Structure 1
Amino acid sequence: MRDLLPSRDDYQLLRFSWKMDIAAGVTVGIVALPLALAFGVSSGVGAEAGLVTAIIAGLVAAIFGGSNVQVSGPTGAMVVVLAPIVAQYGVGAVALLSLMAGVIVLVAGVLRLGRTVSFIPWPVIEGFTAGIGVIIFLQQVPAAFGYSGHLPTNALLAAIHTVSHATKDAILPLLIIIVTAAIMIVLGKIAPKLPASFIAILVVSIGVALLKLPVELIGELPNSLPAPHLPDVNLEMFTSLLGPAFAVAALAAIESLLSARVAASMADTGPYNADRELVGQGLASISAGFFGGMPATGAIARTAVNVRSGGRTRIASIIHALVLLGVVYVAANIVAVIPLAALSGVLMVTASRMVSIEVISRVMRSTRSDAIVFVITAIVTISVDLVIAVGIGIAVATFFMLRRMSMNAGVFRETLPEPATLNDEKIGLFRIEGALFFGAAERLSQQILDYEDLEVVILRLSHIQMIDATGAHQLTELVNALERKNVTVLIKGVRKEHIHVLGVLGAIRSLRHENHLFDDLAPAVEHARKHVKIDNS
């Protein structure tokens, strides 16, 4: 278990990078502030919970996580999952949900399940990301139109309902969102190194305050962290939240591991430990729950800012959390006057950047099956559920992969080596290629059985890349079927890694004689020719 715990090696680069780490930490803290507030408000738990989560979870994950540069906190994907949960169970359930999901993620790390994220295909990841971006954008539409009435839980339906019931009161919040987005977009092009979201919110907030515009603000925030406490727990609530907790835990694990993997590829910051990352993220969500926060994950956008700003050790992520902590104790009153519409503008721009036209174009132009996987994953993400979307995306990708494997598997009849002898046409030399598995075994077996007037069949198995239990069983059935037709079966070239499964499922025992198993082709053909001569004598 030692590799799942913090160690001195986590900070071995610190003496070379501490200046860059501090600068990166301050930069990420400034970038994270508006996002933490916005995600807290958008999820329904409030700006305070978003800020507390960014501080507590960000600090704990930085120390205990498996990545040297991962920045954790509230994220857009988690907001998408939490919003309907808050609507159904209320704000009071979120802290307990955070504890439950954190324990599940922690256990997954201890059980060494971190590497499973590598099995998620790239089109599924991109479809998932694009779908999240669309949902986050749609979730801001009610705020953009100043709508406060009852809304459907589905983001798409809520956006349609909001637009169809828009009034003249929507002009002011829409204008604030447009100005916020315009500042972010312009700054992103002319000065990409500046914290555009922070500057946009600062400018808009000052403008709203000077003009005394009647818009909804964040409101009063506490000027200190709340004391840690155990959330209210009762059996009924615990049971009701079990399903959502597993969904939140799955999302937290997937997003955090993907973020850590992306960070490791961006710069030479050292490898990441997937299992330790789950342990760290689990502890982060548990800690956030004790402080009244929400479940946290690794944040890809903030992690990328950290790496690009020069962050190389965990100190950068720790500094980011301390910067946010300083905001609570020093600038809570200033943060309170930020217009909610400005936060919606930040999230709309952030969501738009998650839907990359370039990436979508690359996926759609790759292969037809990958394009279908991408589209299905994105549609299910938007219309149904994030975790279900990943499951369906993986299932569809697996179907196409098995289909390709089945199509690439084949049986080929070969000509016997020279010199030819009398009655060679009664010997069938068949080379089986590809994967002999449940998707192809029966078809390949039937192709051999369709040949008539054969007295000996030689099965060349050395070109088979993989055999599963179904394939080995079907090979046994093929041997038995041929022997019942009085066709002698010889097997040539069983690979070392396939001997066990063929032996267990009886393919080798089904041969008429133990001498009918060969390593080389020449002896097998010679033996087959003797059988034909004997049968014709």
Structure 2
Amino acid sequence: MGTDTKSNQALTKSALASVLRHDLPASLVVFLLAVPLSLGVAVASGAPPAAGLIAAATGGVVAGLLGGSAVQISGPAAGLSLVVAELIAVYGWRATCLITLLAGGLQLLLGTFRVARAMLVVSPAVVHGMLAGIGLVIALGQLHVVLGGTPQRSAVENLVELPGQVATIHGHAVFVGLLTVGVMIGWNRLPRRLRVVPAPLAALVVSSATALLAGWDVTRLDLSSSLVGWVAPVWPRGDWHGIIEAVLLVALLAGVESLLCAVAVDKRRDGGRGDLDRELAAQGVANIVSGALGGLPVAGVIVRSTANLRAGARSRWSAVMHGLWILVFALCLWQAITLIPVEALAALLIFIGVRMTDLGRLRGLHGHGEVPVYFATMAGVVLLGLPEGVLLGLGLAALSALRRLTRVTVRARPEPDGRWHVLVGGSLTFLGVPRIVAELHTVPPGVTVDLDLNIDFMDNAAFEAVHAWRQEHERGGGSVDIDELHDEWYAMAASGARVFPVKSPPRAPERWWLPWAHRRGPVAVPSERAGPPPAPDHLLAGAREFHRRTAPLVRPFLHAMARRQDPSHLFITCADSRVVPNLITASGPGDLFTVRNIGNLVPRWGSAPRDDSVMAAIEYATGALGVRTITVCGHSGCGAMAALLAGGDRAAGLPSLGRWLRHGDHTLARFDADSGLEGLEGLEGLEGLEEGGGTGPLDRLCRTNVIQQLENLRTIPRVDELVRQGRLELVGLYFDISAARVHVLGQPPSTGSLPDLVDRHP
């Protein structure tokens, strides 16, 4: 079989066109952003300025070509600056390059053995707290540079020395710093066409030009020593334990930051997920090359990656080209770097450091109770040091996780019928036994107890405690009815079967869909309905049952969608209490945007009487929510359709209902034209038609009504336009109540989807 060279050539041309159209402009934007940031990270690390450019070029070309994330940008990261600064102070710069090289080898090994996912076990609260602490340390240190002084060895010393440094302010350095920060703050308020140039580059250009023209006395960057020639890394001198710790620290911090960045970027782009193991291995190769060439450690950086994505990058060629631009700049235009004041870079680092303490992340951490971990890690990094702060955060996160895993909820309360209800939730281990026993012994002897075990694990100590109490209570004349909502941990332990410590997915409470009259327990009501309707107490009891049984199961899903809904269907159906949309469509929270009214009517565009309620829902669903399907669902025995057949007699004394049913006149006219009313000898027998399904006049009118409402939807200009464009589908459903069966109306029989589960009727 021959090769289709034409199609291959067309594919190549298409890919090249995409690179030139999307990736090339994006690479220029990221290049302009990466140059000042890379120089700033090098200055904050105490490394030669050229080391930042070497790391940026290496990260772009090597990690960009080999990485598993298509649009991630790698280079020197501010989050590693404290580690590098400490390594330079202890071992020297050339030895630090070798540590970077060895850390890259370890990352390559970890990526080869596919352990990238395991590295993400670190709590995000620890990572964000670490970055916040690093940002504060950088800001405090560089503040001394802006004020004309020298950073101290620790954040505490920088804070102590700050008042004396403020008292001896050096004017020109402060002017440059204030000018740089002012440009950074005000740049985003300029018109969009001017903001093509990144704010960090604009700030450095403005401050450098102003200092040069005004003749200010500032410190300039010196690249002469770092561009003379390549110097080989040397082996660090010192205790080999410390060297191993340094390699592990650089490899793990850079690896975790890169993987978290890759995950965050993949969430913001369309397309498949990246290969994290490949990304970790690529980061290792990039660090090997960067360390060998005399560059800083390389990691994925979120600011440059986000800028790359926003600039329209589609493939890895944007990262590669941005690295090439940096390489060309370093080789050909390096003299321009010598015009940048060190104080301007320090001010840029202050701005970046403050931004790293992103308090907006506390909102998400607060919902999971991880704010203490964040602040403990941040405080540990600032007051104790980076390794100590990270270990402190990891320890607190582990204790917090252990506390959550062993947290037990035990509630015992009497019910109005004399029974006692006891709810035990959580993971039952020996740590929770004292609380379980104390609460169980509050139950009076001799009563009937409904014990609900909403647990995901039970060890032997917890089983012995519950089982012993049950035996004691039953010997005292009481009874205990145990209901396990998850796997039967208690029943398995009581039978002597082996219990595996594995959490299983929860199953929904049995028979939750039954009407109150057919359920046992506190929400059941008598089946004889001769008296008045159920009291509001039954609704409240139902709400309590929801909190007790269903809420723990659906809470994770509802929490994830609490801030935004994204339904795929607008579901218009009747207000009839027997029609439960989520039940007959097996849908859950967030799936259906539901409109209910009497007769599932959709007023025609411009019809009278005017109804804004249904129209507003349609506008919002198609305009704001972007639903892809509008479904009209009718049902058998519809009282609104019976009223139409009765000529409005059933709406006598209900003026609002009578006006509303005028929107069904087109349905009645269509029914009359299709089948006529000649078969009816009177309208007084319509009561019997509501009970039956099948082919009676009321049943046919109910089906006809669904078809008519689909046509009414097409009279709405926006709906008709979306349907014509193929962006919206209209579907008619009919629910036969007596048969508990759903039919699809208005479509020919199909052999494609669920022929045995959904009846289709033209």
Instruction: Give the TM bin, normalised by the shorter chain.
Output: 0.7 to 0.9
* 2:72 alignment partner, SS class: coil
RMSD: 3.9
Map Cα deviations across residues 264-312 of structure 1 (whole Å, 9 max, x no partner): 2222254122222222222221221111112111111111111111112
- Offset of residue 314 of structure 1: 0.7
Query: Structure 1 residue 197 and structure 2 residue 200: aligned?
Result: yes
Q: Output the CA distance in 2 between the equivalents of 1:179 and 1:382.
A: 27
- Offset of residue 467 of structure 1: 0.8
- Offset of residue 73 of structure 1: 1.0
Map Cα deviations across residues 363-399 of structure 1 (whole Å, 9 max, x no partner): 69x4594443333232223222345434433543454
Letter in 2 for 1:467: F
When residues 437 and 349 of structure 1 are mapped into structure 2, their CA distance, relative to the original with a 3 A threshold, is same
Query: Structure 1 residue 172 and structure 2 residue 164: aligned?
Result: no
Q: Could you tell me whether the CA contact under 8 Å between 2:144 and 2:165 is conserved in 1?
A: no
After superposing the two structures, state which structure 1 stretch, 116-125 or 54-63, moved more: 116-125
Task: Flag the structure with larger Rg.
Answer: 2
In structure 1, the residue matched to 2:82 is 80
Letter in 2 for 1:219: D
Q: Output the CA distance in 1 between the equivalents of 2:392 and 2:114.
A: 24
Q: Output the CA distance in 1 between the equivalents of 2:96 and 2:54.
A: 13
- Offset of residue 358 of structure 1: 4.5
- Offset of residue 482 of structure 1: 7.1
Q: Could you tell me whether the CA contact under 8 Å between 2:31 and 2:326 is conserved in 1?
A: yes
In structure 2, the residue matched to 1:474 is 462
When residues 142 and 433 of structure 1 are mapped into structure 2, their CA distance, relative to the original with a 3 A threshold, is closer
Q: Could you tell me whether the CA contact under 8 Å between 2:75 and 2:299 is conserved in 1?
A: yes
Query: Structure 1 residue 214 and structure 2 residue 217: aligned?
Result: yes
1:437 aligned residue (406, 425, 429): 429
Q: Output the CA distance in 2 between the equivalents of 1:221 and 1:201.
A: 20
Q: Could you tell me whether the CA contact under 8 Å between 1:222 and 1:332 is conserved in 2?
A: no
Map Cα deviations across residues 425-474 of structure 1 (whole Å, 9 max, x no partner): 9xx996543322354244224544676867x999967x433115xx3343
Q: Could you tell me whether the CA contact under 8 Å between 2:96 and 2:236 is conserved in 1?
A: no
When residues 159 and 101 of structure 1 are mapped into structure 2, their CA distance, relative to the original with a 3 A threshold, is farther
**Percent of pairs identical after alignment?**
25
After superposing the two structures, state which structure 1 stretch, 295-304 or 201-210, moved more: 201-210
1:40 aligned residue (37, 42, 46): 42
Q: Could you tell me whether the CA contact under 8 Å between 1:410 and 1:434 is conserved in 2?
A: no
When residues 218 and 438 of structure 1 are mapped into structure 2, their CA distance, relative to the original with a 3 A threshold, is farther
List aligned pairs for 1:447-486, cutoff 5 A.
447-448=439-440, 463-467=453-457, 471-476=459-464, 479=467
- Offset of residue 478 of structure 1: 5.1
Q: Output the CA distance in 1 between the equivalents of 2:226 and 2:381.
A: 38
1:142 aligned residue (141, 144, 149): 144
Map Cα deviations across residues 309-361 of structure 1 (whole Å, 9 max, x no partner): 1112110110111011001211112212321111112212222333345545x
In structure 1, the residue matched to 2:117 is 115
In structure 1, the residue matched to 2:330 is 328
In structure 2, the residue matched to 1:509 is 496
Letter in 2 for 1:197: P
- Offset of residue 226 of structure 1: 5.4
* 1:153 alignment partner, SS class: coil
List aligned pairs for 1:92-111, cutoff 5 A.
92-111=94-113
Q: Could you tell me whether the CA contact under 8 Å between 1:128 and 1:389 is conserved in 2?
A: yes
After superposing the two structures, state which structure 1 stretch, 238-247 or 433-442, moved more: 433-442
Q: Output the CA distance in 1 between the equivalents of 2:272 and 2:141.
A: 37
Map Cα deviations across residues 489-527 of structure 1 (whole Å, 9 max, x no partner): 99966788566x996xx653399xxxxxxxx9xxxxxxx
Q: Could you tell me whether the CA contact under 8 Å between 2:412 and 2:442 is conserved in 1?
A: no
When residues 172 and 129 of structure 1 are mapped into structure 2, their CA distance, relative to the original with a 3 A threshold, is same
* 2:189 alignment partner, SS class: helix
Q: More helix per residue: 1 or 2?
A: 1
- Offset of residue 142 of structure 1: 2.4
Higher relative contact order (CA 8 A, sep 6+): 1
Q: Could you tell me whether the CA contact under 8 Å between 1:434 and 1:466 is conserved in 2?
A: yes
- Offset of residue 406 of structure 1: 5.1
Q: Could you tell me whether the CA contact under 8 Å between 1:218 and 1:337 is conserved in 2?
A: yes
Q: Could you tell me whether the CA contact under 8 Å between 1:145 and 1:166 is conserved in 2?
A: yes
Q: Output the CA distance in 2 between the equivalents of 1:383 and 1:474.
A: 42
Q: Could you tell me whether the CA contact under 8 Å between 1:218 and 1:338 is conserved in 2?
A: yes
* 2:354 alignment partner, SS class: helix
* 2:40 alignment partner, SS class: helix
Letter in 1 for 2:385: D
* 1:434 alignment partner, SS class: strand
* 2:348 alignment partner, SS class: helix
Q: Output the CA distance in 2 between the equivalents of 1:42 and 1:429.
A: 62
Letter in 2 for 1:509: G
* 1:92 alignment partner, SS class: helix
Letter in 1 for 2:250: V
**Count of residues in correspondence between the two structures:** 483
* 1:382 alignment partner, SS class: helix
In structure 1, the residue matched to 2:580 is none
In structure 2, the residue matched to 1:3 is none
- Offset of residue 244 of structure 1: 2.4
Q: Output the CA distance in 1 between the equivalents of 2:152 and 2:463.
A: 55
Name stretches of at least 5 consecutive residues in structure 1 with no aligned partner: 1-8, 512-519, 521-537
- Offset of residue 252 of structure 1: 1.0
Q: Output the CA distance in 1 between the equivalents of 2:263 and 2:130.
A: 16
- Offset of residue 235 of structure 1: 6.9
Q: Output the CA distance in 1 between the equivalents of 2:39 and 2:389.
A: 27
* 2:495 alignment partner, SS class: coil
Letter in 1 for 2:133: G
- Offset of residue 20 of structure 1: 1.2
When residues 477 and 13 of structure 1 are mapped into structure 2, their CA distance, relative to the original with a 3 A threshold, is farther
Q: Output the CA distance in 2 between the equivalents of 1:217 and 1:398.
A: 47
List aligned pairs for 1:293-372, cutoff 5 A.
293-356=295-358, 358-360=360-362, 362=363, 366=366, 369-372=369-372
Q: Output the CA distance in 1 between the equivalents of 2:26 and 2:178.
A: 29
Q: Output the CA distance in 2 between the equivalents of 1:269 and 1:171.
A: 52
Query: Structure 1 residue 27 and structure 2 residue 34: aligned?
Result: no
Q: Could you tell me whether the CA contact under 8 Å between 1:145 and 1:163 is conserved in 2?
A: no
In structure 2, the residue matched to 1:282 is 284
TM-score for the superposition, normalised by structure 1: 0.77
TM-score for the superposition, normalised by structure 2: 0.56
- Offset of residue 17 of structure 1: 4.3
When residues 372 and 337 of structure 1 are mapped into structure 2, their CA distance, relative to the original with a 3 A threshold, is same
After superposing the two structures, state which structure 1 stretch, 181-190 or 347-356, moved more: 347-356
